[in-house]
Structure 1
Amino acid sequence: MAGHSKWANIRHKKAAQDAKRGKIFTKLIREIMVAARLGGGNPDANPRLRAAIAAAKAENMPKENIERAIKKGTGELEGESYEEITCEGYAPGGVAVLVEAMTDNRNRTISEIRHIFTRNGGNLGEAGCVAWMFHKNGLIVFDKGKYSEEELMEVALEAGAEDVKDQGDQYEVITDPADFLQVKQAFDERGMAYDMAEITMIPQTTVRVEDPKQAQQVLRLMELLEDHDDVQKAYANFDIPDELLQSVSA
């Protein structure tokens, strides 16, 4: 199974804990604010804002919180001003890591992200060093035991998805970011339950990590990056064998 799926699944399982600490809401509010600032407060005319609102609703964010974040983004209410930054680097074993962050202090955030890389056997690289290895797509993941590939393919392609991939015990539906919400809605309307649905960065190549110590370092680095208050998402192209993944992430 490709690295993005493995890390996304681990991150998905951590989400309940993160939600308890309020981290999920904080990150979603920042995304809504930035999306509204860049593309306006009308979700019908702003696909990024529409996706951000859908993600917030999926986490049961109260409607008033969403509306307040939109107004802060458009300037109707006073609020913090965040800028988007991307950091790129390598984890142990040559694993490529792409970090998306939102910050009100660029230098502080980059310094702290660099520190996380260095303390965990990685190194922060120059802009562009790994971004070319990733491609932005919509990703909807289904448990293989629930639906057949044919069932998923029929709905996915009719709704405008690009592909359906067999990934071991899961199927992945891949979409263009612009078509993600309509494909997701097609599954929702048919009552087809998915394990995860998000717009993500998918690695075009993966790096096999079979050394237990390196695998542990890679996962620790990813967890610490995503735990950072300013980091929205972290992506990596590792491919850790399932048995090793279970033992080091237990």
Structure 2
Amino acid sequence: MSGHSKFANIKHKKEKNDAKKGKIFTIIGREIVMAVKAGGPDPSNNGKLRDVIAKAKANNMPNDTIERGIKKAAGADSADSYEKAVYEGYGPNGVAIIVETLTDNKNRTASNVRNAFTKGNGSIGTQGCVSYMFDQKGQIIIDKEECEVDADELMMTALDAGAEDFVEEEDSYEVLTAPDDLGAVREALEAAGVPLLEAQVAMIPQTTVELTDEKALKDIQRILDLLDDDDDVTDVWHNWAE
């Protein structure tokens, strides 16, 4: 990642998120609704809901807020309904960008995403135009400073639970899994007392694009900032080597 550790980028992302807790809680609230409607309100029988609850706790969402969200979503009169919509496109110099959203108004979301690309001199493409440049993986990031478990023991716990790869960075560990195995590996690490910084299904670029032109750098930042500010946008994946 162009001399930047993945953890440095994650930390940067988390710091931005900390300033926008409201948005993060809104997104997680919508994910709770979708998980409950798809598999019921009991986390012991709903793996997707277990994953969302773990994400909520990682973002310091209070337990009573989580429980309230589950009860509300399970209520017979719950009118909340969200759809997942994914947009693909190009930033400056052909940087590939994937935008994942959860929305109750696809027209509004599509318009906002298109506007973000346009303002940064990018363009929305067709479905599949850039996703082939990414691998979908379960990704778990562990902060070395917070983790007291020995690296070899950590690796064996992850691999025994079904992880595909274990990478030691300067300041973090990264565990990669098949998307469907993320929950099982996350639960095994949690059971071993490992504090997780991030656990999510990620789109990992196969190659990255360097940007050196000042205008291109401003344009890509403009696109990412506008998408980051949009409450409907849950995740943005790109292959810019920050």
> Structures share a fold, TM > 0.5?
yes
Once the two structures are superposed, the pairs formed by residues 225-244 of structure 1 within 5 Å of their partners are 225-240=227-242
* 1:47-97 deviation line (CA, Å, top 9, x unaligned): 222111111122232334323333443452423221111111111121111
SS of match in other structure, 1:129: coil
Give the aligned partner of residue 102 of structure 1.
Answer: 102
Alpha carbons 2:58, 2:197 under 8 Å: kept: no
Cα RMSD of the aligned pairs, angstroms, is 2.7
Report how far residue 170 of structure 1 moved. Answer: 3.6
1: CA distance, partners of 2:9 / 2:94: 16
Aligned residues: 238
SS of match in other structure, 2:219: helix
2: CA distance, partners of 1:132 / 1:7: 23
Alpha carbons 2:89, 2:126 under 8 Å: kept: yes
> Structure 1 unaligned runs (5+)?
241-250
2: CA distance, partners of 1:18 / 1:107: 24
Alpha carbons 1:209, 1:215 under 8 Å: kept: yes
2: CA distance, partners of 1:229 / 1:194: 25
| Cα 1:132/1:63, change in 2 over 3 Å | same
The sequence identity of aligned pairs, in percent, is: 43
Give the aligned partner of residue 222 of structure 1.
Answer: 224
Report how far residue 7 of structure 1 moved. Answer: 4.9
One-letter identity of the residue aligned with 1:199? V
Give the aligned partner of residue 70 of structure 1.
Answer: 70
- Is the counterpart of residue 136 in structure 1 residue 155 in structure 2? no
Report how far residue 192 of structure 1 moved. Answer: 3.5
Give the aligned partner of residue 17 of structure 2.
Answer: 15
SS of match in other structure, 2:20: helix
Give the aligned partner of residue 121 of structure 2.
Answer: 121
Once the two structures are superposed, the pairs formed by residues 194-213 of structure 1 within 5 Å of their partners are 194-213=196-215
Report how far residue 39 of structure 1 moved. Answer: 2.8
1: CA distance, partners of 2:238 / 2:159: 27
2: CA distance, partners of 1:45 / 1:217: 45
One-letter identity of the residue aligned with 1:137? K
- Between 51-60 and 95-104, the greater mean CA deviation after superposition: 51-60
| Cα 1:167/1:210, change in 2 over 3 Å | farther
Alpha carbons 1:103, 1:230 under 8 Å: kept: yes
2: CA distance, partners of 1:99 / 1:126: 12
1: CA distance, partners of 2:5 / 2:114: 22
Give the aligned partner of residue 247 of structure 1.
Answer: none
One-letter identity of the residue aligned with 2:200? E
TM-score (ref. length: structure 2): 0.84
| Cα 1:87/1:8, change in 2 over 3 Å | farther
* 1:166-212 deviation line (CA, Å, top 9, x unaligned): 45554311112332233233333443344433332222332223334
SS of match in other structure, 2:234: strand
Alpha carbons 2:58, 2:196 under 8 Å: kept: no
2: CA distance, partners of 1:39 / 1:194: 25
Alpha carbons 1:47, 1:178 under 8 Å: kept: no
SS of match in other structure, 1:164: strand
- Is the counterpart of residue 91 in structure 1 residue 84 in structure 2? no
Give the aligned partner of residue 165 of structure 2.
Answer: 163
Alpha carbons 1:159, 1:182 under 8 Å: kept: yes
